[in-house]
Amino acid sequence: MERSAALDLVKRHVKNKNLQKHMLAVEMVMGELAARFGEDVALWRLTGLLHDIDYDLTADKPAVHSLMGAEMLADYGLPSSVVNAVRAHNECHGLPRDSMLEKALYCSDPVTGLIVAGALIHPTKKLSAIDTDFVLNRYHEKSFARGANRETIAACREIGLSLAEFVSLALMAMQPRAEELGL
């Protein structure tokens, strides 16, 4: 699937603009991770972009979230690697994350929320104003961005990155495209 078709799916199935921006942010991080590990950048970006495709349908049913999305993506003909990564990114299912793609999506999902929250508390409200140390300081504040699960973010070690490396990479992916994210 081409990115333009995937973006059309996002716009058709996800009406919340902030969630669309989140999905774009995860796409950015996943692309950077793929480049870092010599993986298929287009496939990894597609996985990030489409990972919450079912959220409007499952927001009140977390036990179904990602299962429905995986089914939708399979119906759209996405590769099984994408379908499996989307299915496994919701921790409540307890599914194993065996591939690098699955592990990368799992930790990339919440790190984008942490970074966006960090930008929003900065006086400028700009991604360009924050750095790795700023985000790491917020990471250690338990009351900050509670929805950004720290344990899930720390799973970056499963793909061979330290927390500081991962946050730095995520920032590097998101900052050049900050305007798309409204930051």
Which tens digits make up the pLDDT trace of 60-100? 998 999 999 999 999 999 999 999 999 999 988 889 999 99
pTM: predicted TM-score of the whole model, two decimal places: 0.96
DSSP string computed for 145-177 = STTS-HHHHHGGGGGT--HHHHHHHHHHHHGGG
Helices 67-75/80-88 angle, 10° precision: 170
Number of C-beta neighbours around residue 150 at 10 A? 15
Answer yes or no: CATH 1.10.3210 is held by domain 3-181.
yes
Residue (of 77, 87, 2, 98) closest to 43 by Cα position: 2
**Any idea where the domains of the chain sit in the sequence?**
3-181
pLDDT at 142: 86
When pLDDT is cut at 50, 70 and 90, the band that residue 120 belongs to is: very high
